[in-house]
A and B are shown apart, each in its own frame.
Chain A
């Protein structure tokens, strides 16, 4: 009997050659017959169970799918894990090197991942959601293991034994490189179950998988999807367990800012135009489809276009009215000499602050070079204040930041927790971090604020 041949093809596995009929049940559970190529086919992520199933059934196997081998990773730095990191690593290892670790921002997820890479000793691919994290992870891996570290995304296309990729680039490239890594690490892994992003994990053959997030749970069907892609949550550590020891102490302050009289009148007028329209058309925004319906109705008539303009205007006033801008100025003066991040809900708000106060702004439009310069300048203190919309919500390591000011944001609990996480990393001379949340008094921002604070991190705090 010659061998069964397993090949990696564009994010899938192709199984052909001498195969028993019927296929072993553990293999049959993962493959489908593909009439286009007259082969059995499986998802890339099913590599391990298919191989194990064939070998367990005694089928000789010519494994051409596996594109990685053990690597000798040279350490350039000694590492000592903190107790919570050691506990997380142990549990992940005991779970067959598959699973998700929930750690608060600043608790050392990257160091944990570095240890996991060293423990597995296989080529590793790290998935990250943003360009900033791409650069940050690359720097860390080069620091610990030496170069060169591959990068996919932000105009870079280099694949190496250790590679960092944005989720977007990974989806595009996985059909070509999906079999070259033994370990897949998904940073901020709550992004992974999305209809597009999950392909990055489904097309990869890596048997070993590690998910990292401060907020992995969605409370819906995505949780089961995430478990299927990476494994179960194997360790959870909350902010409360680390606050004051490995994370900075913190307080939150919610400031209601009354609108100026003329803006209040404008807000009321435009808000009424908008809400009357919603009532007339019985739109309650209970599902994502309602937003599409609203836009569709607005596009169909001159009145609808006016309603849409009113919607944007009342939102603009609530998010970045003049009184809020004055409050930002007051807080900047109050915390002069400290490192401050200003968060906004949209780019318009971010550039408004940047122009008004002459501050560096990072949005998705900021070029790679300038983005790097702004972050480095913020860390070194050249720029004591940094403005961002959403791109710095997650993961970026700026331990020097001790003050956060949320000018505006969504109702997302995850976003609000992640923003708090930006200022919680411990740093020399940093005693207590503070997160200000500016809320337009008498506007819809009040209910938005209530919803986004429904998390343990805000419980019992003002």
Chain B
């Protein structure tokens, strides 16, 4: 993400216009030059300090967005600790000795005797005894980006850098595309943001913020808003507005699909934790009958609120579909809502997994007491549910359906 010093924009009144870059030859060449420089440095195993010299020269020579390009590329690079992992141990031995020398106001004769007897320590003392500081770390990985990708990330980075100073973000999208909504709401859930929805004849207006934003224009959620933003340009039609507090001024940012922003968020799975990928993989191995369904549906909760289950599973090729929604420790309010909704709508083919950090051994029985009719739809997990448990719940739903005739969709 780009910090304040890299953010370039101009103003008309209180409206911010980020200085987006075109994918013109001059910027493509600059990005290509930097990517080549980093690739060469990686191949030669350069340290941060060694790399900084040509990078600074290039940045000074080009000016403009070069520094920001470097920041974006460097953040995506991997570095390893400086050569000589024994540095702390050598330092400990040397400093222990120097402690003795200082106790007498520096004993030069003792120093010479000790270092003559320990050539390894003498060599260490002759070099940089703090040589394992970050500037000496070695470049080992660089991002697999094209020059175009650098420019696109820069343009997104300008918006993200501004959103760090926003208390909330308002997004207007057409009502039509449920698949787009689904993806968007998964990102909201992933970044632990709250949304206030308002339907109108042009579609849906979504005001995105965090719970505490109700009380003060805190920038606590700025990082989450900035992380969420690249999900927006994935939509076909969209409009975003945000109030930005910049240099003690309240400014406005207004963007839409014509702003030319291109997201690097390709699909949500790229941002799903590893355990979800493993879960799906294991699920496919363990179950011949049930298979994960690609698209989960949206559930209208009333009062303009919408929910998307985390997973949907189909029994056989054209069997019933059952949805699974997971609630973690930060979903307490949503869980309360969902339980109440499910109690009112037992026909909904939904089972609910609750993280033990949200409902411990004392709290879970209280939930079951409140909603005895949901007992066969609720289960607990620690961090992430196990496949066997989920399969059991899915089978339970099918059995319940065969008895009650409710709660399964096709």
Contact = CB atoms under 8 A, between A and B. Distances in A.
Contact of B129 (A332, A358, A377): A358
A367 interface: yes
Given A354-B129, A355-B129, A384-B99, A10 B215 contact: no
A336 B103 contact: yes
Interface stretch (B148-156, B188-196, B233-241, B288-296): B188-196
B130 A361 contact: yes
B94 interface: yes
Nearest to A171: B220
Contact of A373 (B92, B130, B332): B92
Interface in B39-94: 60, 88, 91-92, 94
Contacts of A351: 130, 133
Contacts of A10: 192, 210-212, 330
Contact of A199 (B95, B212, B303): B212
A359 B336 CA distance: 58
Interface in B332-380: 332-333, 336-337, 357
Interface in A1-43: 5, 7-12, 14, 16, 32, 34-39, 41, 43
Contacts of A32: 214-215
Given A36-B194, A199-B212, A199-B220, A384 B95 contact: no
A7 B105 contact: no
A286 interface: no
A7 B333 contact: yes
A196 interface: yes
B125 interface: yes
B105 A333 contact: yes
A321 interface: no
Nearest to A347: B133
A383 B219 contact: no
B4 to A, nearest CB: 9
Contacts of B336: 5, 7, 16
Contact of A333 (B106, B128, B210, B303): B106
A383 B97 CA distance: 9
A41 B194 CA distance: 13
A406 interface: no
A175 B133 CA distance: 34
Nearest to A34: B214
B271 interface: no
A9 B220 contact: no
Interface size, A (range): 35 or more
A358 B125 contact: yes
A335 to B, nearest CB: 9
Nearest to A374: B95
Contacts of A377: 95-96, 99
A19 to B, nearest CB: 15
Interface in A345-404: 351, 354-355, 357-361, 365, 367, 369-370, 373, 377, 381-385
Given A176-B329, A358-B94, A332 B102 contact: yes
A37 B210 CA distance: 12
B201 interface: no
A305 B95 contact: no
A130 B256 CA distance: 43
A257 to B, nearest CB: 20
Contacts of A361: 130
Interface string A68-91: 000000000000000000000000
A409 B333 CA distance: 49
Given A199-B212, A355-B129, A365-B133, A8 B105 contact: no
Given A7-B333, A11-B211, A11-B212, A360 B95 contact: yes
Contacts of B209: 36
Interface residues of B, number: 46
B247 interface: yes
Contacts of A7: 332-333, 336
Contacts of A38: 303
Contacts of A175: 192, 211-212, 330
Contact of B247 (A289, A332, A360, A369): A289
A93 B209 CA distance: 39
B88 A41 contact: no
B65 to A, nearest CB: 13
A337 interface: yes
Nearest to A176: B329
Interface in B121-180: 125, 128-130, 133-134
B10 interface: no
B248 interface: yes
A149 to B, nearest CB: 20
B218 interface: yes
B96 A36 contact: no
A289 B165 CA distance: 16
A41 B209 CA distance: 14
Nearest to A65: B332
Contacts of A317: none
Given A336-B105, A355-B128, A43 B98 contact: no
Contacts of A382: 96, 99
A261 interface: no
Contacts of A336: 102-106
A305 B67 CA distance: 14
Interface in B200-238: 207, 209-212, 214-215, 218-220
27 contacts: A7-B333, A9-B333, A10-B192, A10-B210, A12-B211, A14-B332, A32-B215, A34-B211, A36-B195, A41-B214, A43-B212, A199-B218, A289-B248, A292-B247, A295-B5, A305-B60, A329-B106, A336-B103, A337-B103, A354-B130, A358-B95, A358-B98, A358-B129, A365-B133, A370-B88, A381-B99, A382-B99
Interface of B: 5, 60, 88, 91-92, 94-96, 98-99, 101-106, 125, 128-130, 133-134, 192, 194-196, 207, 209-212, 214-215, 218-220, 247-248, 303, 329-330, 332-333, 336-337, 357
Given A7-B333, A370-B88, A383-B96, 17 more contacts: A7-B332, A10-B192, A12-B215, A32-B215, A41-B214, A195-B218, A202-B215, A289-B248, A333-B105, A336-B106, A357-B102, A370-B92, A377-B95, A381-B99, A382-B96, A384-B102, A384-B103
